[in-house]
Structure 1
Amino acid sequence: PWQWPKVWSYNAQITNPHWIYPGDLVRLLPKGFLAAVPTADPGLEPDADPGARPTTDVVTPQRRLDVAVRQVAFIDKKHLDSSMFVVGAVEDKELLSTGDDIYVSYPEKQVPKVGDRYSIYAEDSRVEHGGKVHGSYVRVLGELQITSVKQEKKAQARITGANSEIERGARVGPLMTQFKSVPPVRNEVDVQGTIVAMLTAQQLIGQGEVVFIDLGKKSGIKPGNRFFVVRRGDAFDPKRDPGEQVGQDDRSYPVRALGEVVVIQVGDSISVGLVDRVSEEMGVGDLVMMRKQ
């Protein structure tokens, strides 16, 4: 109990230690304390001499990280633009739920098959970075299974599970609802990207958080690759809150690592990652860097 002044000193974002609530991110160690992450220049500077690259083996995750998505998720723009829709129901109901038989419309070149399972979701807010739409946060409403498909007719489906009431107009698509860590894979490219979204509504990112990075298969990213989350600049600024330093990139400073992200799913232009280790709070907009091994 006598350690609280020291812990409080590590958390400048906490103005009153009596006002800490469930979900708040609290640092229990000083900034810069991160096991197995070098305290000197970690060799992530893109301008470094390629011949001086470290030849260490791929770091193996120290534990499995599993995250289940129940109410909030992220979907990339490609799947958002090609989503199907709930357009009607067999019974005279306005609000639909588990066990209800419904009708689903679908794109002409994306005909579902009987037995296919999909998520039902509603779009919340779009994720934009650098003037480009990368996808959208969505609310997971439930799941369905296709029961009948006839040519030039709406598909019929049954709602197999519901988190909340489902209405006509809800989107339907292959939404991933379970994220799991994967075996490590050696990095094959040198790339730099940005964290463009996170799974929860928290402002700061901590260990075990699911994040989305604006790099995918087109950039040579594979599941099992690892990114460092980095910033460049003075880590202490008494005039700014920790969250205001997100994306700090003063090229007159060497790189410093805030943590690591394990890639668990890769799309064409978006990757999903699990934050494995953290030494300092991170946020949407922070840079990520991968070095070829």
Structure 2
Amino acid sequence: MKKVFKDTSYFSVLGLKKQTLALTICAGLSIGVVTTIEASTPTRNINPPALKANAPNVYVVKKGDTLWDISKKFLKNPYRWREIWASNKYIKNPHWIFPGDRLLMCTYNNRPIIGKDEGDGCDGIIRRYGNGTVTLQPQVRIESLNNTIPVIPLDRIKNWLERSSVVAADSVKNTPYIVGAKDQRVLAAKGQSVYVRGNGLEIGQQYGVYRENDPYIMLDANGKKYNAGLEIVQVASGIATKQTGDLTTLEITDSYNSEIRRGYFVMLEEDAMLPTLFYPVNADEVIAGGKIIRIQGSIGAAAVRSVVSIDRGTNQGVKTGHVFSVNELGQTVKDPVTHETLQLPSENVGSIMVFKTFENLSYAYVLESDLPINIGSLLTPPIMND
């Protein structure tokens, strides 16, 4: 079957249709169909993670909890959760956390560990975990499960996981596009039909309808502008029902909170399971630098639960699950005594987690923010010491 876009590599991340996803904590072998990416084991800190002064000895997981929120209840530095999670590798699905699970904070070899209570307290958690041998290497992966506790609220990133992508600027050339709708409508929606111009569409095939957002225009090392990618967003799905010359009738079967306009692209829908890992990034894994270049769905600043775009992708070593600290540039002020112009130090204002990567860009979710996060805010690896 002939594809209608020029470069298929950029569209391998489109899809995840009608799947309920959960980012779940894993320390052993997954059960079920799942795609994963293995990563090198991060360097362990010599000092054990510092617990919060009010950290609970017992916590019952509630519906609506996220792994990040649970981590923050126990630790001063939630990045270090993987160092204290005590998974029991000898029972089925020991790595998944569900609402109603009773988590206990225990001590093993003078280090804090947290595990699920099976009715016999900390003694049972430590005994079942490995008969005295503890290897703390939990990971987070995407699973097709309905009730597991996610790292972050998936409903907040679902649209970007499923329906947004960044492609090469020239990859949409010669792509079929909408030229009109029945009844001379300017806009179309679910249940209506539109006319698509372009070759390569097949009768009976399901297609996606995509709008084009502003391109990502950035500066290279020499200060010259270049197009780093074009953002496209799926607004509808439809089935090709009739062809007349280079015009194809597309019956719209679903629309996604957006109208359908003339000029929108029509491309094959592709389903792909996006792999993910959740662990703090090491400083030597990602090319230094990086900043926030777009705040999705807002013309203002970002805050907790916002989605942002960053100018780092797979070409710079970024992987799904990497966490970055966000630093706001310090003000430029004039010294009142010497009248010199000074740049004040940058300040940490929050942290983000990457959930979808492209070649030179990535989408990230704002985990926490002490102050508004603005375009141009700088990215650094998180500080791993408490």
Counterpart for residue 306 of structure 2: 209
Counterpart for residue 211 of structure 2: 121
Residue 119 of structure 1: CA displacement?
Answer: 3.6
Any conservation in 2 of the 1:190–1:291 contact (CA below 8 Å)?
A: no
Residue 221 of structure 1: CA displacement?
Answer: 1.1
**TM-score (ref. length: structure 2):** 0.45
User: Which structure has greater helix proportion?
Assistant: 2
Determine if the alignment matches structure 1 residue 261 to structure 2 residue 355. no
1:105/1:185 CA distance change after superposition, 3 Å = farther
Residue 283 of structure 1: CA displacement?
Answer: 0.7
Distance in 2 between residues matched to 1:157 and 1:167, nearest whole Å: 13
1:165/1:206 CA distance change after superposition, 3 Å = closer
Which structure has the bigger radius of gyration?
2
After superposition, what is the alpha-carbon deviation per residue over 1:3-47, rounded to whole angstroms, capped at 9, x for unaligned?
xxxxxxxxxxxxxxxxxxxxxxxxxxxxxxx96389xxxxxxxxx
Secondary structure of the residue aligned to 2:293 is strand
Counterpart for residue 52 of structure 1: none
Residue 219 of structure 1: CA displacement?
Answer: 1.1
Q: Pick from 187, 195, 207: which aligns with 1:103?
A: 195
Determine if the alignment matches structure 1 residue 76 to structure 2 residue 169. no
After superposition, what is the alpha-carbon deviation per residue over 1:43-96, rounded to whole angstroms, capped at 9, x for unaligned?
xxxxxxxxxxxxxx89989842232549xx86535268515411244x343332
Counterpart for residue 179 of structure 2: 87
Counterpart for residue 275 of structure 1: 366
Residue 224 of structure 1: CA displacement?
Answer: 0.8
Residue 257 of structure 1: CA displacement?
Answer: 2.2
Determine if the alignment matches structure 1 residue 193 to structure 2 residue 284. no
Counterpart for residue 252 of structure 2: 159
> Structure 1: which 5+ runs fail to align?
1-33, 39-56, 238-248
Distance in 2 between residues matched to 1:63 and 1:278, nearest whole Å: 17
> Structure 2: which 5+ runs fail to align?
1-74, 80-136, 141-148, 220-224, 334-341
Distance in 2 between residues matched to 1:289 and 1:112, nearest whole Å: 47
Residue 207 of structure 1: CA displacement?
Answer: 0.6
Any conservation in 2 of the 1:120–1:141 contact (CA below 8 Å)?
A: yes
The one-letter code matched in structure 2 to 1:65 is P
Counterpart for residue 146 of structure 1: 239
Distance in 2 between residues matched to 1:225 and 1:76, nearest whole Å: 19
The one-letter code matched in structure 2 to 1:190 is V
> What count of residue pairs does the alignment treat as equivalent?
220
Residue 168 of structure 1: CA displacement?
Answer: 2.3
Counterpart for residue 152 of structure 2: 64
Counterpart for residue 105 of structure 2: none
Distance in 1 between residues matched to 2:190 and 2:151, nearest whole Å: 36
Any conservation in 1 of the 2:209–2:235 contact (CA below 8 Å)?
A: yes
Residue 222 of structure 1: CA displacement?
Answer: 1.0
Residue 280 of structure 1: CA displacement?
Answer: 2.0
1:291/1:209 CA distance change after superposition, 3 Å = closer
Secondary structure of the residue aligned to 1:193 is coil
Residue 167 of structure 1: CA displacement?
Answer: 3.2
Distance in 2 between residues matched to 1:283 and 1:148, nearest whole Å: 46
The one-letter code matched in structure 2 to 1:278 is S
Distance in 2 between residues matched to 1:106 and 1:65, nearest whole Å: 39
Any conservation in 1 of the 2:139–2:279 contact (CA below 8 Å)?
A: no
**Structure with bigger RCO (C-alpha 8 Å, 6+ apart):** 1
Identical residues among aligned pairs (%): 18
Any conservation in 1 of the 2:286–2:318 contact (CA below 8 Å)?
A: no
Distance in 2 between residues matched to 1:142 and 1:75, nearest whole Å: 12
Cα RMSD of the aligned pairs, angstroms, is 4.6
Secondary structure of the residue aligned to 2:312 is coil
Within 5 Å, give how 1:6-85 maps onto structure 2: 36=77, 63-66=151-154, 67=156, 68-69=158-159, 76-78=166-168, 81-82=171-172, 84-85=176-177
1:164/1:266 CA distance change after superposition, 3 Å = closer
Residue 286 of structure 1: CA displacement?
Answer: 1.1
Any conservation in 2 of the 1:181–1:264 contact (CA below 8 Å)?
A: no
**TM-score (ref. length: structure 1):** 0.57
After superposition, what is the alpha-carbon deviation per residue over 1:93-152, rounded to whole angstroms, capped at 9, x for unaligned?
3332221233334577xx6795434144254x44433223345677x6830223359798
The one-letter code matched in structure 1 to 2:361 is I
Any conservation in 2 of the 1:58–1:184 contact (CA below 8 Å)?
A: no
